[in-house]
Amino acid sequence: MGGHQRTVRAAIDIGRGLAPARPPRPIRTGERIHVLGVAASGMSAAALLAHHAGASVTGCDAGGPSPYTPPLDDVGIALEWQHAVEHVHAPDGVPIERMAVTKALTSVNPDHPELAAARAAGVTLEQFQQVVADAAATTGQSLVAVTGTHGKSTTSGWLVHLLVTAGLDPSAFVGALLDPDITGAEHPATARWGRGPHFVVEADEYAGNFDPYQPDLAVLLTAEWDHPDVFSGDTDVVDNFELWLRRAALSGGAPTLVANLDDAGVVRVVDRLADWPGRVIGVGLDSNAAMVRGHLERLDAAGATIRVEWPDRPPLTVDVGLLGRHNAANAMAIIGAAWVLGIGDEPLAASLKGFRGVRRRMEVKGDVDGVVVLDDYGHHPTAIARTLETVRQVYPGRRVWAVYEPLTFHRTAAMLERFADILARADEAAIIDIWAVRDPDTTIVSAADLAAATAKRSGRAVPAPGPPEASAEALARLVRPGDVVLVMGGGRSYVTAERLVELLTERAGPG
């Protein structure tokens, strides 16, 4: 239990000033909720879902509009592009009832004036995941939570696509943009509002972010060390997932867990759950212990073919449209969830073949003058390695650039050697300035440090040109026809990809 205790303490320290996670409750019609930092992916989803649940929602973000805010404009949510203590009170002078924030803000700037004004007015400060969980409680839908160190956004988005394909009209929160053909909205969004039996959430393990969720069905993809500011190693991560699943069982139900037994960390979690009252459904491509087992018959630049064996159903051969072995593993999680939910072979096969992924996952931003520019959210050594492997499979024989914007100083410092080892596998590499997010100490490591470590391993120069805009300018001078530029990061690296495409287009000229 020592690891459990440490994890709980970390969650409290990171989220200081926030109300602790509580069992979800329905949102009342007209309930006043203000979302601070509304232009972020999860915050925008909380605002949208609370609005659909009947709340009176407002939001603000000093960073201005983002790709996540057009859906909020579409439904008329009042947004302000500055922080102000006046946001704590509605125009009629009545205080808001609660404020949704992120633990990143409360850890870096707990004395933020808007937070201080909310506390002074007696307003409850809650993590945005609590609002999402309450929206699910409002609908009464069965909660399906997808979690793991890697693959959460892709797999949760894929599960939403499957339910839509099956005509089951789900609600959802996914941490990456879903296309309008999935959400039914005018613009890409991170939330969906439906009337079917299921509500899908991407459940983030960082510092207890997933604590408000009490799923009926959980999908666990991977369990590997990440977030060095919260977890000291793999054992802490395993402790965290186990504790969350045990809390879900204490909520009064007997949940089902679909577990990827090809992942060593997930196997450790499952081994801990021998006395768990829920049901464990193991899935895997390689595991003989899996109840739902896949045999990989094809893996190439067009996707994969998997022959599925499962209880009480004839074997099924399916094509998978997403690329890479890691996505074949994610597909097995979808197959396991489909088996639990009773979804038939036809919609399952259609979704596995037809789903094209969520935004910012090896997304092609442009193919200009012989240079392909890809944008990806990868920010962990394992995820980067898998993406690089897939890029080489899809673009054989081409020079591959790994352009990385490190996410947080503490992660970069703790994993610097692993990052350098992976980035050195590319033909060329470049490092964008570190995106601090929640880091109070920005002196412990630099982009130049990671560039030097990568160059030492690769034997090639590795530039660290600065912020995303400057990095795009530098890359435009360095890339040549035939190159594939993979831009990765969890902050503003998408700006580098977009600006590089613009610069290459200008260089190519008319036609």
CB 371 within 8 A of CB 479: yes
Pairing of strands 98-101, 256-260: unpaired
pLDDT band, residue 100 (cuts 50/70/90): very high
Distance CA 11, CA 20 (A): 9
pLDDT tens profile 301-358: 788 899 999 998 899 999 998 888 888 999 999 999 999 999 999 999 999 998 986 6
Residue keyed to tokens 């599960």 = 159
What burial class does residue 5 get, using C-beta atoms within 10 Å of its C-beta: 0-12 exposed, 13-18 middle, 19+ buried?
A: exposed
Domain 141-354 shares a fold with domain 363-508? no
Distance CA 177, CA 287 (A): 32
More confident residue, 355 or 103: 355
Indicate the domain borders of the chain.
2-131, 141-354, 363-508
Give the number of other Cβ atoms within 10 Å of residue 500's Cβ: 28
Query: pLDDT at residue 24 above 50?
Result: yes
pLDDT tens profile 190-212: 999 999 999 999 998 877 888 99
Using a pLDDT cut of 90, give the percent of the chain over it. Answer: 53
Map residue 147 onto helix, strand or coil: strand
DSSP state of 89: B
Secondary structure (DSSP) of 106-130:
HHH-TT-HHHHHHHHTTPEEEEHHH
pLDDT tens profile 347-376: 999 999 989 866 666 788 888 888 999 988
Pairing of strands 124-127, 189-192: unpaired
Distance CA 116, CA 86 (A): 12
Distance CA 358, CA 192 (A): 14
Give the number of other Cβ atoms within 10 Å of residue 300's Cβ: 10
- Most confident range, picked from 15-24, 114-123, 245-254, 313-322: 313-322
CB 54 within 8 A of CB 28: yes
pLDDT value of residue 511: 58
**pLDDT mean over 442-453:** 88
pLDDT tens profile 151-173: 888 899 999 999 999 999 999 99
Tell me, which fold does domain 141-354 have in CATH? UDP-N-acetylmuramoyl-L-alanine:D-glutamate ligase (3.40.1190)
Helix axes 264-272, 234-250, angle to 10 degrees: 40
pLDDT band, residue 108 (cuts 50/70/90): low
Give the number of other Cβ atoms within 10 Å of residue 428's Cβ: 20
Non-local (6+) Cβ contacts of 77 within 8 A are 47, 48, 51, 57, 58, 59
- Whether pTM > 0.95 for this model: the answer is no
**pLDDT mean over 164-187:** 93
What is the CATH number assigned to the segment(s) 2-131?
3.40.50.720
- Minimal CA–CA distance to 55: which of 32, 39, 74, 38? 32
Q: Provide the token pair at 331.
A: 């597909």
pLDDT band, residue 1 (cuts 50/70/90): very low
pLDDT value of residue 106: 66
Query: pLDDT at residue 6 above 50?
Result: no
pLDDT value of residue 409: 83
Output the average pLDDT for the chain. Answer: 87
Non-local (6+) Cβ contacts of 338 within 8 A are 162, 348
Q: Provide the token pair at 349.
A: 């096969």
Q: Provide the token pair at 124.
A: 């409850």
Tell me, which fold does domain 363-508 have in CATH? Protein-Tyrosine Phosphatase; Chain A (3.90.190)
